[in-house]
Amino acid sequence: MEQANVYYAFMLTLIAGLSTGIGSLLAMVVKRTNTRLLSFALGLSAGVMIYVSFVDIFPKAQDALSQIYGSKMGAAYTAIAFFAGIFVIALIDKLVPAVENPHEYKNIESLSELQNNDRKAKKIMRMGMITAIVIGIHNFPEGIATFISALQDPEMGFAIAVAVAIHNIPEGVAVAIPIYIATSSKMKAFTWSALSGLAEPIGALLAYLILMPFISDAVLGIVFASVAGIMVYISIDELLPAAREWGKHHISIWGMIVGMIIMSCAIIALA
């Protein structure tokens, strides 16, 4: 494995993770949530994830496993790995209380209403810190997925990193606002938000240190199928419902369609 590819994959994962910091910066300067833009962006992210999962990642995983185990068993192992990815990310969501789940997106106005209640400062601070930790837990498998994908296929890794970065921005808002309200410190808000995103490059680093010695076509096929499952679950369970909640139904749908169009054009251009 060329070192340049490793550096590229790690850099993509780092950028995707630190996009939570972009969310915190937006939270500090924006007075109102642009619900239409947020709805469109979340829909676009979901479109990219769903399209690349079913059109690019899943077929590559099945091809790799079919060459090793034959068509029938290759297809079976691909399906098992796909649903295993769904199960893992669903289990993480299940273990996280909804009130502290970073995918339960909050708007800037509703959180800002708490700013005048000093008695709740400690509780608000705790909410922000726990949200940061929870986001780290969610981002860990996403970091592994982005890193491994970019390592094997730089173009596909770039698409995944962009989609992950877009959906990490509102998570940065969810961390930054409570901490800013509790401490009145923009630096602390930004720091906690950015740190929560570091779980992704940490996941990439561990994937490199632990998985790389065992990387083979079979392992890559299983990882790719699991990545597809993770991204489909995130899109269906988190991104699309949040996008529809923030804006009119058709805004999120058009965002998803535009995301799919962008991804299809990218795949065709790079073919």
For the entire predicted model, the pTM comes to 0.73
Amino acid at 7: Y
Helix axis angle, 217-233 to 58-69, nearest 10° = 150
- C-alpha closest to that of 138 among 22, 237, 6, 24: 237
pLDDT at residue 159 tops 90: no
- Asked if the model's pLDDT at residue 103 lies above 60, the reply is no
d(CA 264, CA 197): 28
DSSP for 30-50, written as a single string:
-SS--HHHHHHHHHHHHHHHH
Give pLDDT tens digits for 57-87.
899 899 999 999 999 999 999 999 999 999 9
Highest mean pLDDT among 42-46, 54-58, 109-113, 164-168: 54-58
State the Cα–Cα distance between residues 124 and 65, nearest whole angstrom. Answer: 48
Domain boundaries, the chain: 3-270
What would the mean pLDDT of 162-174 be, rounded to a whole number? 78
